[in-house]
Amino acid sequence: MTVKDTRVRDLCTTILMCLKISPGSLGFDYMRQAVILCYNDKTLIQYVTKKLYPQVGEYFHVTAGIVERAIRTAINKAYECGGLLGLNDFYDTIVFTNKFKYTNSELISIIVEKIRLEIMREEIYGDLKINNEES
C-alpha cells in the first residue's frame, strides 16, 4: 500500500466518521472500500451494481447484494440521526438538507470528490512549502 493509498483510506475513514456512519457496521467497511476503488478508477461509479459492488463483495467474500444493502443501511442510519449534515461543513456551503436522502452512488461520489480535493490541496500546499523553504 502506497503513502497515497494510506492517505485516501485515512481521509475516507475520517469523513465517514464525521457523517456519523458507525465504524462498527459492515456498511462502513464496504463504503470505505467502494470509495477507495472509485478514487482509483473513476469509471466504477458509473457501474455501481455491475462492477463496484461485485468488486467490494469479492474483497470481503460476500455478494454484491449484501454490499449494497449494508451501504444503504449505513446511509439511512446516518440520515436518521442527522449525520449527513456534516457534508455542509466539508464544503462550507449547504449541499445537504434533511429533505432528501442521497443514494449510495451519490454519497460515494461526493466522498470521492472531497478526497480528491483534499489530496490536491495537500499536493499544492506541499509544493508551496518546498518552494518557500528553498528560497
Distance CA 107, CA 118 (A): 17
Domain ranges across the chain? 3-134
User: Are 14 and 90 a contacting pair, CB within 8 Å?
Assistant: no
Distance CA 108, CA 27 (A): 12
User: Are 53 and 63 a contacting pair, CB within 8 Å?
Assistant: no
User: Are 39 and 118 a contacting pair, CB within 8 Å?
Assistant: no
pTM exceeding the 0.85 threshold for the entire prediction: no
pLDDT tens readout for residues 26-55: 999 999 999 999 999 999 999 999 999 999
- Return the sign of the alpha-carbon dihedral for residues 119, 18, 16, 80: negative
Mean pLDDT of the chain: 84
Of 36, 60, 45, 19, nearest to 104 by C-alpha is: 45
pLDDT tens readout for residues 49-81: 999 999 999 999 999 999 999 999 998 888 877
CATH number assigned to the domain covering 3-134 = 1.10.10.10
The conformation of residue 49, written as its DSSP 8-state character, comes to: I
